[in-house]
């Protein structure tokens, strides 16, 4: 027994030592043992044994000589004021290298304690060494908070600047780094830094639960509380009156009367956590004013709040409700109030473990725990460096802050609780008010649409699809000299070149070299047709944007581009890129042509502006076969991003019901012009259902109904997409530092990654939430219910789509996610396999993953497939029950991650789908109303140029260029009754024109008269020149028949290719919506497919190559071409197919066949 006790003591000592060794402090000795060693470029803090504790460097390097350092009793006094005045950009502090294998693959928390006057700010980073080859190391610096620097708030109290990062495996060394980036007018003090593993932190506050009423003041003719745990009487009151309230009477506050009302805080509220519920009504005279109005506050002046935990509820700018609980991260919650004098219900929640949040008229507003990185925010923001200061919570005030800034209006029914309120409690409080509770008016789009009448932008079809009809030339510019217009300006070099006899202006060959020109437009003309002539003679990667020339930063109406050369044949002639440009209500515009990739210079020979005489877009004429289950073949316009408001230049960017209807009409006009018949849009975007609670990009209330109403008239289908990665309003108690530290986060819906922790790289990593958790399944089911409820009465509503990427929580994403305890327990029960991992280890998720992938990989994948596939079959059945023609569209885009293991292996596409949890065979077999879509990324090879981190493997990047031509790429859709090929427009994305974010792009092209505010965020879709833009449409038909094709990303990606897309859509949509059989022959690039359907024989021929091709085909008797080019095609015919051309046919009976394997020839 004694020996056992000794052994336990040794083990305990070893564990304690390991935990202590996992935290590294700098300096590791008292400051009294530190001395400074200066050189011409550095200042080192060295201890009495000669070991370096810190190194300070400046940028520029020689500015270090102008920075004064002095060691004090408890820190290092740093005075950079002279250096900042002399041009210092930042001061960099680095620790010595840390060699600690226990950090590998772990979340580490690192912090610096710094005191200094604002606005000095700090960003933090960690520098890592990685052995990339034997004897060769790479250094990688990752900034944890570059986008949101820590702002210092006191020259006496140090701020705890805490950052958190998930480190990679097998990293040989680490160093801390902190950058002082904003000038300080006074010295500051660096007190020290530390780094350790997340689960080695000391115990942290956890979320408060079970709210109890602490105080209730009904204001029914008295200022005394009807119930209170503390003093029920006011400590002071002044300038108050009573008036009608929601319940009886209310108390009135007035800035003119300098109203004051104060109560004791002790007993009536808790500093660390609680909730305030009250009703407010603004003085009608103050509605629309911008003065701040203070509703609830604690004593500390607002400008001295950060880090104190002080509480404030106020009207920011007069009409935005805002709540603050003054954490170090300065995260707040806010929501705009309608400009009215109605009664509004507000609940202000605070908790030092979870920050602050609001409910405004029953709508939840997060204060930091929502979004795409809640784990990082929970650890880094919710610290309170100054919470121990005296006098913070001796009282609270209503209607003012620090005795000033009175709220003008009425307050009723104040209730204070001991813990934050949840939605169910808020609903109960609102329900008590009955009809007095404010409800957001919802527009009646049916009435508004009926009043609007027919679409004012659509004209009858013309003989040739994609033809604008008669147009009037407004103006033309020839680029035959270096200054073709007085407004012409450029960045980088330009030159005048010639193709044949046609001169052109060419930008420099460096990325971001560009030229621009302003021009006038008539705001009464809804759209123009713009023509850009360019030389198709060499490799060019050209970005073109057209924008309002001054003042509006969100003008994305036309951002396009052209690719020539390289893998695309050059014609050796001048080509024309013709685009629709929707005008804004201004008279000034500009275009900018830019070299988007080094070595592919932009060039233009002419620019023309046309006005379409009819003022409308002619619809492409369509002949469609009989539908099956309410569906024909589809050509879809697809949005990955919730950005439709940017595209059509409606006057209020689509944020009003009238603007949304106008935008829907413009969108329908473009789609009918190009022949597209299905609109797919993320009604559920990155953080939830777009609506009253979560509304990115200013969508109108109920905006999807605007599309349904208008598209009902146009015979265009609508599929609302679910493209969600995070939750806008998750339960903040899921993300407390204490849950992370102890491993209790396993029991929440937050998904545990194979690292053992939630993954914070939400846009590229595994899902943030776990589809196996009942709360997430119920949430997804409610989303589908909501989308069905809004759309089912409209014939344009065609179902629901899943935009399925790795980080979306509609599935597990990959084998990197889904290692919560409840998943392991369910797997053990299903499989009978016991997973031998210690459930007490806070990082046990990593151990689960290691054991399962080594010992039960196949069964683990099958169980995950059962979880996800069962659920989405259930959702497909729900759609079918709502209406028999509704489909569930599952769009697989996991091809995005070219860094995945086995990316170029033959089973990659099917394997990654299974690993994420979707069994396409089961989906196709058990839910016939499911569309299975596979995504390609046409632009990646040309535009990324290795700049995206997962394309640093050049072999993978080159492989992706042609992987869609391989048969196994389409394994996900092979068994589908309705397969679809999707092109995701990986838009060219760059901060050109913003020298702060992209220094290499130079200054914006404003010109000497400041007549151009260059749009400094490019999201352009670049397409191959001319007919080659159709390559992915045609090539998707190479290995199997597809019933649908779609294209899209951030903006409309088909501008400039309408004359080729519209004829393709005519031929494609004329075919029956059933899979067709591939007939023998055709060689490598021609495909002839056939099916008997609805009593007739249907077939098509597609050329999947970049050259014009002839095909000899024997047609059945009385064959007709569906697009009308060949009225009668009996017997043997030699067909000419353009590059990527499609031609479709129908006959009363019989089957076509090739006479030979097809003959490819040259062509323009």
What is d(CA 1055, CA 1021) in angstroms, rounded to the nearest whole number?
9
Q: Does domain 24-198 have CATH number 2.60.120.260?
A: yes
The secondary structure of residue 943, as a DSSP letter, is: H
Helices (H), 264-411: 374-381
Of 1066, 86, 1078, nearest in space to 633 by CA: 1066
Give the alpha-carbon dihedral of 195, 200, 204, 208, to 10 degrees: 130
Q: What is the pLDDT of residue 135?
A: 56
Same fold, 213-436 and 458-618: yes
Domain 458-618 CATH class label: mainly beta
Q: What is the pLDDT of residue 944?
A: 52
Tens digit of each residue's pLDDT (9 = 90 or more) over 781-823: 999 999 999 999 999 999 999 999 888 999 999 999 999 999 9
Q: What is the pLDDT of residue 405?
A: 72
Q: How much is the CA Rg of the chain, to the nearest whole Å?
A: 33
Q: What is the pLDDT of residue 136?
A: 54
Q: What is the pLDDT of residue 17?
A: 31
Find all residues with CB under 8 Å of 926, minimum gap 6, and list them: 873
Q: 1054 vs 901, which has greater pLDDT?
A: 1054
Residues facing 160 on adjacent strands:
113
Lowest mean pLDDT among 210-224, 364-378, 787-801, 974-988: 364-378
On the question of pLDDT at 106 being above 50, the answer is yes
DSSP states of 563-623 as a string? EESTTS---SEEEEEEEEEEPPSSSEEEEEEEE-STT---EESEEEEEEETTSSEEPPP--
Q: 934 vs 144, which has greater pLDDT?
A: 934
Lowest mean pLDDT among 232-236, 283-287, 751-755, 967-971: 283-287
On the question of pLDDT at 460 being above 50, the answer is yes
Q: Please, which pLDDT band fits residue 574 given cuts at 50, 70 and 90?
A: very high
The secondary structure of residue 11, as a DSSP letter, is: H
Q: Which CATH architecture has domain 1076-1160?
A: Sandwich (2.60)
Question: Quick one: average pLDDT of 540-565?
Answer: 89
On the question of pLDDT at 5 being above 50, the answer is no
Q: What is the pLDDT of residue 101?
A: 83
Residues facing 491 on adjacent strands:
514
Q: Is the peptide bond before 990 cis (omega within 30 degrees of 0)?
A: no
Domain ranges of the chain: 24-198, 213-436, 458-618, 1076-1160
Mean pLDDT estimate for the chain: 89
How far is CA 324 from its chain centroid?
Answer: 26
Q: What is the pLDDT of residue 945?
A: 53
Helix axes 703-714, 445-452, angle to 10 degrees: 40
CATH number of 213-436: 2.60.120.200
Contact 76, 97 (CB under 8 A): no
What is d(CA 685, CA 724) in angstroms, rounded to the nearest whole number?
5
On the question of pLDDT at 140 being above 70, the answer is no
What is d(CA 909, CA 898) in angstroms, rounded to the nearest whole number?
11
Q: Cβ-count burial of 223 within 10 angstroms (0-12 exposed, 13-18 middle, 19+ buried)?
A: middle
Q: What is the pLDDT of residue 895?
A: 58
On the question of pLDDT at 573 being above 60, the answer is yes
Helix (H, G, I), strand (E, B) or coil at 38: strand
Tens digit of each residue's pLDDT (9 = 90 or more) over 602-651: 999 999 999 999 999 999 999 999 999 999 999 999 999 999 999 999 98
Q: What is the pLDDT of residue 15?
A: 34
Both tokens of residue 136?
Answer: 């060769």
Q: Cβ-count burial of 950 within 10 angstroms (0-12 exposed, 13-18 middle, 19+ buried)?
A: middle
User: Phi and psi for 767 in degrees, rounded to 5?
Assistant: -60, 150
On the question of pLDDT at 1162 being above 70, the answer is no
Tens digit of each residue's pLDDT (9 = 90 or more) over 743-769: 999 999 999 999 888 876 666 678 999
Q: What percent of the chain clears pLDDT 90, i.e. is strictly above it?
A: 65
Both tokens of residue 667?
Answer: 């969108």
What is d(CA 657, CA 321) in angstroms, rounded to the nearest whole number?
24
pTM comes to 0.91
On the question of pLDDT at 21 being above 60, the answer is no
On the question of pLDDT at 174 being above 50, the answer is yes
User: Phi and psi for 349 in degrees, rounded to 5?
Assistant: -100, 145
On the question of pLDDT at 888 being above 50, the answer is yes
Highest mean pLDDT among 19-28, 53-62, 903-912, 931-940 belongs to 53-62
On the question of pLDDT at 954 being above 70, the answer is no
Q: What is the pLDDT of residue 371?
A: 59
On the question of pLDDT at 6 being above 50, the answer is no
Q: What is the pLDDT of residue 880?
A: 98
Tens digit of each residue's pLDDT (9 = 90 or more) over 1018-1051: 888 999 999 999 999 999 999 999 999 999 988 8
Q: Please, which pLDDT band fits residue 1163 given cuts at 50, 70 and 90?
A: very low
């Amino acid at each position: 027994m004694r020996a056992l006790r000794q052994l336990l003591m040794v083990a305990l000592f070893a564990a304690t030592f390991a935990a202590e060794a996992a935290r590294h402090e700098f300096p590791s000795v008292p400051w009294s043992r530190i001395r400074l060693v200066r050189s011409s470029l550095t200042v080192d803090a060295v201890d009495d044994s000669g070991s370096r504790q810190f190194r300070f460097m400046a940028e520029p390097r020689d500015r270090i000589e102008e920075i004064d350092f002095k060691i004090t009793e408890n820190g290092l006094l740093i005075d950079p004021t002279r250096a900042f005045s002399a041009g210092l950009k930042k001061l960099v502090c680095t620790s010595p290298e840390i060699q600690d294998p226990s950090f590998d693959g772990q979340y580490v928390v690192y912090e610096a304690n710094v005191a200094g006057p604002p606005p000095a700010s700090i960003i933090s980073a960690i520098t890592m060494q990685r052995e990339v080859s034997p004897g060769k190391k790479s250094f990688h610096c990752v900034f944890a908070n570059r986008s949101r620097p820590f702002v210092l708030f006191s020259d006496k109290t140090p701020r705890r600047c805490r950052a958190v990062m998930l480190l990679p495996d097998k990293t040989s060394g680490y160093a801390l780094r902190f950058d002082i980036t904003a000038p300080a007018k006074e010295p500051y003090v660096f007190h020290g830094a530390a780094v350790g593993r997340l689960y080695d932190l000391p115990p942290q506050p956890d979320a408060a639960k079970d709210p109890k009423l602490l105080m209730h003041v009904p204001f029914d003719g008295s200022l005394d509380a009807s119930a209170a745990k503390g003093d029920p009487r006011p400590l002071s009151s002044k300038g108050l009156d009573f008036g009608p309230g929601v319940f009886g009477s209310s108390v009135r506050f007035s800035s003119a009367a300098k109203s004051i009302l104060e109560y004791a805080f002790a007993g009536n509220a808790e500093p660390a956590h609680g909730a305030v519920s009250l009703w407010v009504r603004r003085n009608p005279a103050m509605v629309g004013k911008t003065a701040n109005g203070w509703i609830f506050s604690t004593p500390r002046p607002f400008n001295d709040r950060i880090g104190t935990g002080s509480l404030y509820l106020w009207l920011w700018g007069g009409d935005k409700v805002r709540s603050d609980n003054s954490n170090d991260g300065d995260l707040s919650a806010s929501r705009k109030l309608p400009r009215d004098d109605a009664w509004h219900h507000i609940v202000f929640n605070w908790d030092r473990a979870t920050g602050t949040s609001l409910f405004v008229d029953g709508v939840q507003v997060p204060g930091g725990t929502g979004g795409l990185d809640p784990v990082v925010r929970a650890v880094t923001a919710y610290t309170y460096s100054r919470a121990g200061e005296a006098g913070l919570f001796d009282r609270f005030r209503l209607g003012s802050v620090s005795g000033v800034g009175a709220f003008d209006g009425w307050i009723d029914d104040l209730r204070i609780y001991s813990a934050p309120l949840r939605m169910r409690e808020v609903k109960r409080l609102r329900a008590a008010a009955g009809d007095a509770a404010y409800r957001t008016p919802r527009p009646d789009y049916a009435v508004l649409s009926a009043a609007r009448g027919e679409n004012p932008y659509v004209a009858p079809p013309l003989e040739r699809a994609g033809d604008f009809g008669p147009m009037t030339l407004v103006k033309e510019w020839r680029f035959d000299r270096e200054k073709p217009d007085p407004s012409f300006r450029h960045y980088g070099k330009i030159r005048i070149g010639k193709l044949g006899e046609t001169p052109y202006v060419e930008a420099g060959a460096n990325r971001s070299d560009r030229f621009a020109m302003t021009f006038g437009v008539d705001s009464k003309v809804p759209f123009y047709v713009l023509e850009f002539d360019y030389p198709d003679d060499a490799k060019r990667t050209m970005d073109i944007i057209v924008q309002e020339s001054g003042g509006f930063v969100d003008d994305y109406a036309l951002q396009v581009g052209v690719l020539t050369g390289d893998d695309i044949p050059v014609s050796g002639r001048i080509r024309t890129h013709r685009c629709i440009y929707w005008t804004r209500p201004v008279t000034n515009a500009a275009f900018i042509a830019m070299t988007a990739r080094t070595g592919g210079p932009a060039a233009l020979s002419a620019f023309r502006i046309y006005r379409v005489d009819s003022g409308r877009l002619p619809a492409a004429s369509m002949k469609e076969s009989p539908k099956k289950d309410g569906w024909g073949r589809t050509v879809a316009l697809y949005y990955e991003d919730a950005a439709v408001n940017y595209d059509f230049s409606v006057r209020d960017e689509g944020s009003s019901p009238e603007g949304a209807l106008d935008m829907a009409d413009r969108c329908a006009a473009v789609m009918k012009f190009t022949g597209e018949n299905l609109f797919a849009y993320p009604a559920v975007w990155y953080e939830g259902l777009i609506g009253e609670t979560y509304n990115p990009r200013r969508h109108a209330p109920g905006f999807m109904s605007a599309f349904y109403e208008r598209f009902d008239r146009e015979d265009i289908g609508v599929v609302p997409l679910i493209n969600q990665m995070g939750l806008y309003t998750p339960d903040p108690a899921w993300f407390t530092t204490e849950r992370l530290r102890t491993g209790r986060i396993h029991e929440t819906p937050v998904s545990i990654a194979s690292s053992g922790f939630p993954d914070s790289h939400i846009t590229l990593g595994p899902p943030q939430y776990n589809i196996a958790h009942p709360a997430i399944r119920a949430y997804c089911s409610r989303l589908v219910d909501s989308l069905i409820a809004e759309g089912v009465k409209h014939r344009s509503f065609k179902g629901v789509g899943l935009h399925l990427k790795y980080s979306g929580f509609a599935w597990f994403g990959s084998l990197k996610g889904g290692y919560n305890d409840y998943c392991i327990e369910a797997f053990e029960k299903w499989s009978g396999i016991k997973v031998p991992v210690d459930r007490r280890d806070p990082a046990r998720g990593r151990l689960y993953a290691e054991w399962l992938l080594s010992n039960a990989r196949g069964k683990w994948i099958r169980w995950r497939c059962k979880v996800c596939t069962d659920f989405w079959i259930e959702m497909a059945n729900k759609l079918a029950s709502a209406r028999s023609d509704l489909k569930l569209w599952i769009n697989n885009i996991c091809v995005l991650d070219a860094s995945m293991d086995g990316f170029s292996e033959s089973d990659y596409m099917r394997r990654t789908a299974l690993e994420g949890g979707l069994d396409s065979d089961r989906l196709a077999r058990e839910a016939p109303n499911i569309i299975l879509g596979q995504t390609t990324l046409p632009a990646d090879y040309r535009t990324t140029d290795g700049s995206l981190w997962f394309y640093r493997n050049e072999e993978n990047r080159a492989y992706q260029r042609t992987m869609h031509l391989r048969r196994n790429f389409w394994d996900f859709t092979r068994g589908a009754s309705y397969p679809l090929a999707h092109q995701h427009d990986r838009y060219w994305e760059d901060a050109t024109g913003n020298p702060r974010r992209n220094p290499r792009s130079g200054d914006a092209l404003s010109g000497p008269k400041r007549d151009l505010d260059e749009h400094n965020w490019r999201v352009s879709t670049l397409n191959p020149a001319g007919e080659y833009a159709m390559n992915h449409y045609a090539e998707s038909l190479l290995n199997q028949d597809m019933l649908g094709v779609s294209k899209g990303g951030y903006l409309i990606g088909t501008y400039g290719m309408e004359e080729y897309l519209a004829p393709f859509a005519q031929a494609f949509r004329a075919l029956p919506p059933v899979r067709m059989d591939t007939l023998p022959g055709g060689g490598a690039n021609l495909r002839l497919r056939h099916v008997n359907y609805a009593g007739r024989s249907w077939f098509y021929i597609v050329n999947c190559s970049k050259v014009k091709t002839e095909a000899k085909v024997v047609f059945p008797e009385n064959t007709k071409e569906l697009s009308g080019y060949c009225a009668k095609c009996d017997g043997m015919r030699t067909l000419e197919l353009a590059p990527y051309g499609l031609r479709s046919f129908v006959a009363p009976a019989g089957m076509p066949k090739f006479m030979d394997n097809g003959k490819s020839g040259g062509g323009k």
